[in-house]
């Protein structure tokens, strides 16, 4: 039976958004792959959605009620895995889309995980540390039957950090009457976190970039790169690419950017940001806006800030030969064809930034065996898994004569649907 892949996703809102972009690419990949209609419908929808109410007595004595979500997109390959974000505009549709993204990311990286995502609708900037802790603990209690090292393993995402993961682990452990470190990843190293986790996403971006350059026969000795976003992912990517001999000619954060064709001293910029929390006020080159920065002539562009930075409005002005998506969803689906027509190659987010979830997997493994690896060991394993994932995506893209992005989706869909068929449909 013909499948109507064009049926609108329930969360389409008219504007390009990362959720819609994900569904557009998923649909295209299913079409190219020729996925059976039943499996398409199975994989399109999450298996479980949990909505909870989180009452908290605020510092001013008033009772406020927050809404929290956890969406399990699937647990076909193993326990579901995915971060929890705290944001004022987080909603169920967004969490649903992000959960399915995790399914594809874990499948590409060959991790024994399904996909999930969580969220709490709150504004962390307006919350005290005590209020954040209460929200986190109550959210965790509401999820006691969902979370678990063998069922669903959360991690940090937007506005959630090591401390919040420590509170989740502690709350869960108190109720289980034993310390269960493997219930969550992204914890501080002293309580079961993994060495190398903080740098893992940026390191993965570097590994994917080097693999792509080798495949595309780009000369690494005379290459330039532009990095948008100078937080965890952007700064580590810039530093490690620089160590590989790539000249970083522009960097930026939310305050704006700098351009220096002679090359920016990345370590000095990292030091500056660790003191000032921003690039603003530094002297790293000529000032540029974030829009201008994206259009600078360079070999490699790493958008590592936020979603929808390259859209149909500016895609034809991008001059990079290779774009490596450090952020989730920095290129909207309406820009894909414009970029492909220019001959620009894109390493998609679900491959390029999977270093974070790969080392989260290492953390889960180390917690379960109770033996912790040194950083060289973590990095060597990350290097091997990222390189294997890159090769798998590349070979799939060649086989289907398509982009790396659709190759990545097809590889993931093939893997998950094959396992689903082997397991069969129970009931």
Footprint of ligand NAD (CB under 6 A) = 201, 228-234, 252-254, 290, 304-306, 326-328, 353, 356
CB of 98 to ligand NAD, least distance (A): 9
Q: What SS3 class is residue 321?
A: coil
Task: Between 74 and 349, name the residue whose CB sits nearer to ligand NAD.
Answer: 349
Instruction: Say if residues 353 and 328 touch (Cβ distance below 8 Å).
Output: yes
- Alpha helices (runs of H) in 60-196, residue ranges in sequence order: 92-108, 129-142, 162-176
Closest C-alpha among 353, 240, 238 to residue 298: 238
Report d(CA 117, CA 156) in Å as an integer.
10
The burial of 348, by beta-carbon neighbours within 10 Å (0-12 exposed, 13-18 middle, 19 or more buried), is given as buried
Task: Between 39 and 300, name the residue whose CB sits nearer to ligand NAD.
Answer: 300
- Which tokens go with 102? 């995790």
> Is 247 noted as a catalytic residue in this protein?
no
Pairing mode of beta strands 80-87, 152-156: parallel
CB of 269 to ligand NAD, least distance (A): 11
Task: Between 260 and 292, name the residue whose CB sits nearer to ligand NAD.
Answer: 292
Q: How many CA atoms lie within 13 A of 107 on its CB side?
A: 30
CB of 279 to ligand NAD, least distance (A): 7
Helices (H) and strands (E) in the chain, counts: 14, 12
Q: Per the residue annotation, which of 28, 117, 187, 415 is the catalytic one?
A: 117
Task: Between 17 and 201, name the residue whose CB sits nearer to ligand NAD.
Answer: 201
Instruction: Say if residues 14 and 40 touch (Cβ distance below 8 Å).
Output: no
Report d(CA 227, CA 293) in Å as an integer.
8
Task: Between 252 and 366, name the residue whose CB sits nearer to ligand NAD.
Answer: 252
Name the DSSP class of 184: -
Task: Between 228 and 403, name the residue whose CB sits nearer to ligand NAD.
Answer: 228
Report d(CA 11, CA 149) in Å as an integer.
30
CB of 133 to ligand NAD, least distance (A): 21
Using CB positions, name the residue nearest to ligand NAD.
231
CB of 330 to ligand NAD, least distance (A): 7
Please give the C-alpha separations between residue 350 and each of 136, 201, 325, in angstroms, as whole numbers: 27, 11, 8
What pairs with residue 115 in β-bridges?
Answer: 74, 81
CB of 26 to ligand NAD, least distance (A): 18
Please give the C-alpha separations between residue 193 and each of 115, 187, 396, in angstroms, as whole numbers: 21, 5, 34
CB of 275 to ligand NAD, least distance (A): 14
Task: Between 256 and 261, name the residue whose CB sits nearer to ligand NAD.
Answer: 256
Q: Catalytic site residues?
A: 117
């Amino acid at each position: 039976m013909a499948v109507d892949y064009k049926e609108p996703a329930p969360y389409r809102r008219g504007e390009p958004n990362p959720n819609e972009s994900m569904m557009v690419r998923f649909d295209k990949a299913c079409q190219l792959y020729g996925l059976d209609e039943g499996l398409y419908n199975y994989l399109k929808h999450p298996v479980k959605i949990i909505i909870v109410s989180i009452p908290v007595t605020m510092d001013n004595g008033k009772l406020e009620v927050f809404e929290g979500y956890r969406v399990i997109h699937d647990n076909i390959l193993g326990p579901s895995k995915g971060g929890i974000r705290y944001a004022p505009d987080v909603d169920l549709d967004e969490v649903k889309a992000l959960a399915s993204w995790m399914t594809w990311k874990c499948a590409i990286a060959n991790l024994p995980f399904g996909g999930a995502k969580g969220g709490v609708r709150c504004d962390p900037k307006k919350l005290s540390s005590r209020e954040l802790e209460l929200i986190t603990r109550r959210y965790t209690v509401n999820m006691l039957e969902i979370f678990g090292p063998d069922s669903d393993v959360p991690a940090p995402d937007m506005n959630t950090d090591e401390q919040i993961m420590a509170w989740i682990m502690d709350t869960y452990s108190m109720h289980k009457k034993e310390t269960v470190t493997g219930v969550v990843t992204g914890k501080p190293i002293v309580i079961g976190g993994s060495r190398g986790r903080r740098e893992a996403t940026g390191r993965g971006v570097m590994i994917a970039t080097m693999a792509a350059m080798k495949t595309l026969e780009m000369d690494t000795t005379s290459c330039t790169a532009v990095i948008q976003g100078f937080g965890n992912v952007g700064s580590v990517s810039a530093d490690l690419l620089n160590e590989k001999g790539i000249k970083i000619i522009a960097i930026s954060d939310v305050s704006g950017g700098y351009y220096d064709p002679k090359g920016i001293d990345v370590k000095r910029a990292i030091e500056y940001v660790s003191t000032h929390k921003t690039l603003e006020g530094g002297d790293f080159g000529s000032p540029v806006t974030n829009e201008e920065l994206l259009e600078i002539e360079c070999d490699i562009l790493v958008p590592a800030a936020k979603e929808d930075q390259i859209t149909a409005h500016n895609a034809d002005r991008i001059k990079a030969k290779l774009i490596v998506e450090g952020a989730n969803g920095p290129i909207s689906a309406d820009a894909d064809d414009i970029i492909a027509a220019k001959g620009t190659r894109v390493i998609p987010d679900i491959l390029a930034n999977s270093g974070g979830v790969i080392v989260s997997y290492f953390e889960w493994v180390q917690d379960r065996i109770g033996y912790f690896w040194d950083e060289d060991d973590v990095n060597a394993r990350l290097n091997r898994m990222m390189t294997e994932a890159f090769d798998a995506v590349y070979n799939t893209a060649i086989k289907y004569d398509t982009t790396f992005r659709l190759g990545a989706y097809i590889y993931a869909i093939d893997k998950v649907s094959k396992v689903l068929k082997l397991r069969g449909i129970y009931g």
